[in-house]
């Protein structure tokens, strides 16, 4: 083994040349194309659809976990984590729309679909021609997904679906969604479909006005006797829980990766401000002990959380589940990002509180990450449940 191979063998964050190249290209694109537009789209609560399309046509990062023979890149969860980390340094809201398309639709759909369904939809979403999303959360059923009431009824060669989904990322801009429903409202089983926004009976409800992640559209989806062809059933009737739970794990580590990206940018800003730009009483700001504590603890917390996220991602695959690891990574990373971004505001003082620097936006964006993909309270419950199973064996 040569020196390069030895170094690569111990590189948790770039385990191969392909991962390193991916990080470099995404980081360069994000800094060049995403940073400048982030403030404008946050203030306007608008989605940069033109830039989003370029993620497919120019950067080519859709279908990152789809095998090459099916038109994707054949990479792993670490690659997905790299993309989410690097993009979230500059625009977490825009990155959330990428996550909804790439993880909640593309990866989820691919793992659940048959060959005919893949042939019909994959090329369009991997190219960026169509934007995807997922419909799971409902007005009265968030963390309690089995409490959903959206109902599908089989009628001949189609299913008729009625219900409402809430807080759907890409709801107003997407053309295709993975939709979770029940066939029996009282059963603890779910059935999923791939649906198109062009279907009769499909409509977009109210757009949410949000604290953060404002450059990512969040809406209701409403289904009123929406007819879905029977061939759009994903997997078997009443069989959706397994692939939903499997996809939740990569969703949670990519949400954690967004937290890592937010924290990293905040630390960069703190260091630049306290070392290069700000002095007080004739000293660099970083020479003061109270500032040192905020910056040092932020960096240490970030480094620890980042290592956990990549360690969990490195062992994650469709055939290798890790509920305990995914929940732990999300819990730790999202809490860390809120602390670090709040520290950054404190370190920058008045500048941090104003919009001259992006740390106030990054802090607002960070808060959603402890809610989406299962609340942090749900992560605590899941971790305790998994530990109970392990220690009861």
Residues labelled as active-site residues: 251
Q: Are 84 and 258 in contact (CB under 8 A)?
A: yes
- Is the torsion defined by CA of 375, 381, 387, 393 positive or negative? negative
User: If you search the block for the tokens 């959706």, which residue do you land on?
Assistant: 240
- The sign of the dihedral angle between the CA atoms of 298, 300, 306, 309 is negative
Contact 78, 19 (CB under 8 A): yes
Q: Give the C-alpha separation, 212 to 218, whole Å.
A: 11
Cβ atoms 57, 128 nearer than 8 A: yes
Asked if 220 and 165 touch (Cβ cutoff 8 Å), the reply is yes
Among 369, 377, 327, 374, smallest CA distance to 84 is for: 369
Instruction: Report the distance separating Cα 322 and Cα 88, nearest Å.
Output: 24
Query: Taking CA 32 as the corner, what is the angle to CA 124 and CA 300, rounded to the nearest 5 degrees?
Result: 100
Using alpha carbons, select from 3, 333, 65 the residue that is nearest to residue 11: 3
Distance of alpha carbon 258 from alpha carbon 264, whole angstroms: 10
Residues written for the chain: 393
CA distances from 379 to 147, 323, 325 (A): 18, 10, 10
């Amino acid at each position: 083994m040569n020196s390069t191979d030895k170094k690569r063998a111990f590189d948790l964050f770039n385990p191969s040349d392909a991962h390193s190249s991916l990080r470099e290209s995404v980081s360069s694109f994000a800094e060049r194309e995403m940073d400048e537009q982030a403030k404008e789209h946050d203030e306007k609560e608008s989605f940069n659809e033109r830039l989003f399309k370029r993620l497919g046509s120019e950067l080519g990062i859709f279908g990152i976990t789809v095998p090459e023979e099916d038109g994707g890149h054949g990479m792993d969860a670490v690659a997905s984590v790299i993309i989410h980390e690097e993009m979230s340094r500059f625009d977490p809201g825009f990155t959330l729309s990428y996550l909804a398309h790439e993880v909640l639709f593309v990866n989820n759909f691919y793992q659940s679909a048959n060959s005919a369904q893949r042939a019909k939809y994959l090329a369009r979403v991997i190219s960026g021609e169509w934007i995807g999303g997922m419909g799971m959360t409902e007005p009265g059923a968030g963390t309690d997904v089995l409490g959903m009431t959206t109902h599908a009824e089989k009628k001949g060669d189609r299913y008729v679906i009625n219900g409402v989904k809430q807080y759907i990322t890409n709801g107003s801009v997407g053309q295709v969604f993975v939709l979770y429903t029940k066939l029996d409202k009282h059963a603890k089983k779910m059935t999923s479909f791939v649906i198109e926004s062009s279907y009769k009976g499909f409509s977009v409800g109210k757009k949410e006005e949000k604290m953060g992640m404002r450059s990512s559209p969040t809406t209701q989806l409403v289904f009123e006797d929406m007819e879905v062809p029977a061939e759009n059933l994903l997997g078997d009737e009443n069989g959706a829980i397994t692939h939903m739970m499997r996809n939740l794990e990569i969703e949670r580590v990519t949400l954690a990766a967004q937290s890592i990206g937010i924290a990293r940018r905040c630390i960069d800003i703190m260091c630049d401000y306290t070392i290069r730009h700000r002095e007080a009483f004739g000293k660099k700001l970083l020479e003061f002990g109270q500032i040192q504590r905020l910056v040092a603890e932020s960096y240490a917390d970030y480094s620890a959380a980042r290592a956990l996220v990549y360690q969990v991602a490195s062992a994650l695959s469709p055939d290798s589940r890790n509920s305990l690891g995914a929940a732990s990574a999300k819990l730790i990373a999202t809490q860390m990002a809120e602390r670090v971004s709040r520290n950054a505001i404190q370190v920058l003082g008045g500048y941090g509180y104003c919009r001259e620097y992006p740390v106030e936006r990054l802090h607002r964006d960070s808060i959603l990450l402890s809610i989406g993909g299962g609340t942090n309270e749900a992560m605590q419950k899941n971790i305790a449940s998994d530990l109970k199973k392990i220690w009861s064996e």
